[in-house]
Amino acid sequence: MTAQKGFVKVATCQFPITENVRKNSGIIRKQIVQAKKKGAHLAHFPETALTGYPLGRYEFAGFDWDLIQDETRSIMQCAKKHRIWVALGSAHRLSGTRKPHNSVYVINSKGEIPERYDKCFGTGGDLEHFSAGSHLSTFTINGVSFGIIICYDTWFVELYRKYKTKGADCILHSIYSNFKDFSKKTNKTPVFDCSFPITHAKVNRFWISSANYADKYQDTTSSFVDPDGNVTRLPFKRAAVSVNDVNLKANFWDPSAAYRELALKGILTNGTKFRDPRSSNRSIL
């Protein structure tokens, strides 16, 4: 599908992720087709959408990596057949006995993998199963630059700011968060809510797609947020595909545009420098 430069339709996809890789793969391919029929250029999936998240269920030691790779290839072929990009939550095998990465594979519309993001910040549970990544990842579709974060990464505003310096326009936030596995165990409110993408979107002038696990235990809605903080929420607790626009020509007012570069460079004032003893002495009236 050809689109005007600076314009991309993003499909935020959610479904009930299980430890059954073949089942997950079948749903992913079905939702890729749905996304394409809705006009999407990119289908974005949750964290560990293909593999399932191992928390308390299974270990990656002895995992069937041949199956993972076979099903990944089937998804790559699906992307190629339907000429659509895919951001696929999965796990990436490392050498020997080293724990895998918690990753999002970027699959282009030719069925190739030009990039992969590995989750940089892991929870204690994450680090029991995964090796943390150490890089940010960007890719471009139709002149729109995308960055990727995974779940717990969202607590670290520095990642968003770094993506801003890299010129990212839209952030893909892949999540696996549900009440059964997390909120009950921590006896707290849901780990994530829409305030996260709204805040990050408005402060950094990003579009943000947040794709989460979805079934009866889902504790956080999947959503799509524009740079003004307007939210499109996906239906709660069931499989769904929501297609929304990233349009670089859209007129969004950016109140911090004139001075953001100063802040990104570590200059935390936009005033003229001067010397005044009544300014420098902060313990007087």
What sign does the CA torsion over 71, 77, 80, 82 have? Answer: negative
Contact in structure between 103 and 91 (CB atoms under 8 Å): yes
Residue 132: predicted pLDDT = 96
Helix (H, G, I), strand (E, B) or coil at 77: helix
Question: What percentage of the chain exceeds 90 in pLDDT?
Answer: 78
Residue 1: predicted pLDDT = 46
pTM for this entry:
0.92
Residue 229 backbone class (left: φ over 0; alpha: ψ -120 to 50; beta: rest) = left
Superfamily of domain 7-256 in the CATH hierarchy: Carbon-nitrogen hydrolase (3.60.110.10)
Query: How confident is the model over 54-71, as a mean pLDDT?
Result: 79
The domain segmentation of the chain, as residue ranges, is: 7-256
Give the closest residue to 11 by CA, choosing from 244, 248, 247.
244
DSSP state of 131: B
Question: What percentage of the chain exceeds 70 in pLDDT?
Answer: 91
Distance CA 18, CA 50 (A): 9
Q: Which residues pair with 212 in a beta bridge?
A: 175
Query: How confident is the model over 247-269, as a mean pLDDT?
Result: 92
pLDDT category of residue 55 using cuts at 50, 70 and 90: low
Q: Name 33's Cβ contacts closer than 8 Å, sequence gap at least 6.
A: 78, 82
Q: Please name the helix (run of DSSP H) or strand (run of DSSP E) that holds residue 147, with its range, or none.
A: strand 144-150
pLDDT at 2 over 60: no
pLDDT category of residue 271 using cuts at 50, 70 and 90: very high
Distance CA 76, CA 59 (A): 25
pLDDT at 152 over 70: yes
- Residues 49-82 as b/e (b if ≥16 CB within 10 A, e otherwise) read bbbbbbbeeeeeeebeeeebeebbeebbebbbeb
17-53 pLDDT, tens per residue? 998 999 999 999 999 999 999 999 999 999 999 999 8
Residue 4: predicted pLDDT = 85
110-151 pLDDT, tens per residue? 999 999 999 999 988 889 889 999 999 999 999 999 999 999
Helix (H, G, I), strand (E, B) or coil at 21: helix
